[in-house]
Amino acid sequence: MQRIVLLAMTLAVAALMGSSLAAPVNYKTPDEVAAFKPGPNLEVVQGNCGACHSSDYVATQPPMKDKRAFWQAEVTKMIKVYGAPIDDADIGKIVDYLAATY
């Protein structure tokens, strides 16, 4: 029993020493080069949607027949499901921009 405890302690110390001697990993994320398309209410979209989403993410949404209904549902989902802090006064502006632009 003592051998098992001694072996476990030795392995634990070795693991701690190994992790403390490991070199730190440095990486750089790429700069975002895309931007939201110009249009009315762009600032509202940048301030609300851009806090969590890149413009690339918005632009890659699938094609839809009723853009306004799609974007209304997406904005509503962001608020109700994900807790996006979007003011009621901004909802229509965001939906209008997204439906007209994407």
Instruction: Tell me how many domains the chain contains.
Output: 1
Rounded alpha-carbon distances, angstroms, from residue 46 to 2, 3, 7, 43, 62: 63, 62, 57, 5, 20
Residue 4 included in any domain = no
Distance CA 16, CA 68 (A): 56
User: For residue 27, what pLDDT is reported?
Assistant: 79
CATH classification at residue 95: 1.10.760.10
Q: Which residue has the tokens 């994407």?
A: 102
Distance CA 43, CA 45 (A): 5
For residue 84, give its domain range: 42-101
For the full predicted model, state whether its pTM sits above 0.75: no
Per-residue pLDDT of the chain (102 residues; tens, 9 = 90+): 788 877 777 777 777 666 666 678 887 877 777 899 999 999 999 999 998 998 988 889 888 899 999 999 999 999 999 999 999 999 999 999 999 999
Residue 59 included in any domain = yes
